[in-house]
Amino acid sequence: MLKQLGFILILLSASFFGFTSQFIHNEPQPSYFGLAKYFSHDDVLSLDEVRQQEESIWNDINLKDASFGFNERHFWFKIPIQNIHDSNTQWFLRSNYPLLDNIDVYLLADNQVVQEFHSGDTLPFAQRPIQQPTFVFPLDLHTDQEYSIYLHVQTTSSLQLALSLQTESHFWQNAATENAISAAFYAILLSMLFYNSVIFFIVRARTYLYYVLYIASFTLFMASIHGWGYQLLWPNSPRIHELSVVFLIGPTIIFAALFSSTFLKLATIRPGLNRLILLFIWITLIYSLAALILPYAIMIRVGAALSIMAAAISISTTLQEWLRTKSREIMLFIIAWTTVLVGFLLYGGQKFGLLPINALTEHAIEIGAILEVLLLALGLADRINNERKKRLVAQQKMLDIQIKANQELDNKVRERTEELELLNDHLQTASITDSLTQVKNRHYFDRKFPSEYRRAYRDKSNIALLIIDIDHFKSFNDNYGHQAGDVVLQAVAKSIKDVMQRSSDAVSRYGGEEFTVLLPSTPQEGAYQVAEKIRQSIADLQVEWQENTFSVTISIGLASVIPSHYEGEDMLLKQADDFLYVAKDHGRNQVVYEDNDPSALSSSND
């Protein structure tokens, strides 16, 4: 793209240099006029009145770079020419500035008007003798004939002529070249407009919207000052053409300011400066509305000043942000606005008559605009890439944070789950454990006993049950108190647990001073041995309480069976309980079961 830009600049330069002869030579060549005469007047004068003016009022001027700035007086120019070519040919007189309000051309030969043209951008475009954005007049010049051209110009815009006289063929060749350059210029603007419009519809970012609107406004503004807008868009409305030049300055500045503000994110990082820019935008909006009713001569000056101020504000603002951030896209932004500011200064200086007319000053805005849109596009692309990188970094950070948070949550959940499981285990243990004796409680026994009984039924195996009661416990409790009774209960429970060897055996406090021992897969003989060990262990106990030592005995009822019914556990429980009462009725401190039931033995003896 930079090669294409360089080619365009070369064409622009080649189109405007090298033609300086005042006279038409034997080989027809395009020619800028050299010296001529001119004077200005406040009033409208006719051609006859001009010709009657004294010679002393006429001033010498070089028409090649004639520029009078903003001057609303009526200017008359007198140009002598002679065709010394071998044949009669048609030559094109061209003024290369398209914003002249009124331009009248009179061709005189032998003091007689032989051709007369009236044009300007206050007349419909169709009235121009040659349909071109600039003013072109075909002159019929005969061989060796001396002519005088009287040119009348009056305008409220900058008064410039840039006159040239060219043969028809050379004119169209030059016009084709210049039109190609213009086409390339507008192609760049329109391609950037289309490209960034597509990006806006994809990313939906306001920055791109303002940039697209800025390019659109700027393109229309340039088309107006080049004359293309009048030729192609509103050829039948001189009023719209006049208003378009001053009016379009406003939207161009407004959207440029909005673009700058959003690009630099001033609303967030520099709210005070952003409010100042918004104030400038409102002032420009008022200017745009005023441009519709106030005189062109006033508003074009105000518009030029606003344009330079807008570019200067953008550069200073962007420079401050670059000094703060040192970012590449902001540096591109600075260079872009600097190029357009320089372009406006050169172009404005030429229009105000402060700088000469040449290819650089005449096309300074175009050169600055091409560089600007390219640099801003690069800056926007850089911004997108940086923001994408930042988003990726932010996403990675968020992902890392999320992963860490999930890990922490998993750890907390796992810890909490372990705590809950531990608590649940404690609760479950507490729910089946007697808090005083730390053996299983009645609730546990009521669930465990039926389950073991049914398993024994399924396995056709023995199940034994011991019911243990502490002898004389009520009297002991009444005499020594419940605290002493609790100590006895704890000592008895510990002794019972100490005798148990298998994990499947279950010791439970059945209620009060009664305990049960559930012995799965244990026949009567084995259960009796366990019961005797328990009885003897407790008989050997010496329980201490308040400096007193007590002996404890127990009575045990034992029942063992291979279940023949699925739900016969109540019968086994009743049988063991009955043997317990037999043991208590026959002297206590003994184990009673079916084969050694004292009551049964005494009945048989009787």
Report the Cα 266 to chain-centroid distance in Å: 16
* Interatomic CA distance for residues 107 and 79, integer angstroms: 10
How many angstroms separate the CA atoms of 356 and 335, rounded?
25
Say how far apart CA 73 and CA 302 lie, in whole Å: 20
Dist CA 476 CA 222 (whole Å)? 118
Cβ contact 277:246 at 8 Å: no
Q: Give the whole-angstrom CA distance, residue 405 versus residue 420.
A: 21
Residue 71, amino acid: N
Note whether 153 and 102 are within 8 A (CB): yes
Residue 196 contacts residue 380 (beta carbons within 8 Å):
yes
| CA separation for the pair 566, 463 (Å, rounded) | 13
The pair of three-digit structure tokens given for residue 363, joined into one six-digit string: 């096309």
Question: Using CA atoms, how far apart are residues 365 and 371, in angstroms rounded to an integer?
Answer: 10
CA proximity to 135, closest of 115, 146, 151, 112: 151
| Residue 88 DSSP symbol | -
Q: DSSP letter at 128?
A: S
Q: Are 541 and 552 in contact (CB under 8 A)?
A: yes
Helices and strands: H and E segment counts in the chain = 19, 19
Catalytic position from the list 513, 514, 525, 544: 513
User: What would you measure as the largest C-alpha separation in the chain, in angstroms?
Assistant: 181
H, E, C per residue of 33-70: CCEEEEEEECCCCCHHHHHCCCHHHCEEEEHHHCEEEE
Report yes or no: 374 and 5 within 8 Å, Cβ to Cβ.
yes
Decide if 168 is catalytic. Answer: no
Main-chain dihedrals φ then ψ at residue 73, nearest 5 degrees: -70, 165
**Catalytic (active-site) positions:** 513
